Amino acid sequence: MQRVCARVARCSHSGEVLRRRGADVWYFSVVQTTRKKSGTRPKCALRVLILEDDIELATAMRDVLSDEGWSVVVCAHLSEARAELAAERSQVLVLDLTLSDAFGADFLEELRARPDAPRVVIVSGFPLADLIAERHGVELVKKPFESEQLVNAVRRVTRKQGGMRRAR
């Protein structure tokens, strides 16, 4: 666990804060140092939760999304993501379908019941990912992908009205 912590800490760039929550939750946020002349704080950044068990990929996605000025939380396990969603409101969930401890599509079903469910971007190389994304009415970024594809998918879901599509 310490090795992963050291690797992730080295990947962060200046202007970021690294905090540890639980065993596998890494919270990164861009520190906003500029203020308006009136002394008010800048508006809160978009909050993105990444649920990805590949820490190197999760770190790369975190870097890309935090470079956009968004607050990013990385979870490696479904139980940690559930706890994070219960504790803090995330507007967007970036979800891998094939996690080490669960299948992401089952979590999508669980999210449907929540009135405050975040908008979802599936990031997966799973062969049926396109069908799952279509069924749930969420964005899909197929692995491997370019960073622009991820950023554009997150922007698209934040512009959409409403949440996840209800079951048919």
Which domains occur in the chain, in start order? Answer: 2-30+44-159 (3.40.50.2300)
pTM above 0.85, yes or no: no
Tens-digit pLDDT profile for the chain (168 aa)?
Answer: 222 322 333 333 333 334 444 444 444 443 332 233 344 334 457 999 999 999 999 999 999 999 999 999 999 999 999 999 999 889 999 999 999 889 999 999 999 888 889 999 999 999 999 999 999 999 999 999 999 999 999 999 999 755 554 443
Cα→Cα distances 128→18, 61, 125, 146, Å: 35, 22, 9, 20
And the tokens for 159? Answer: 């512009």
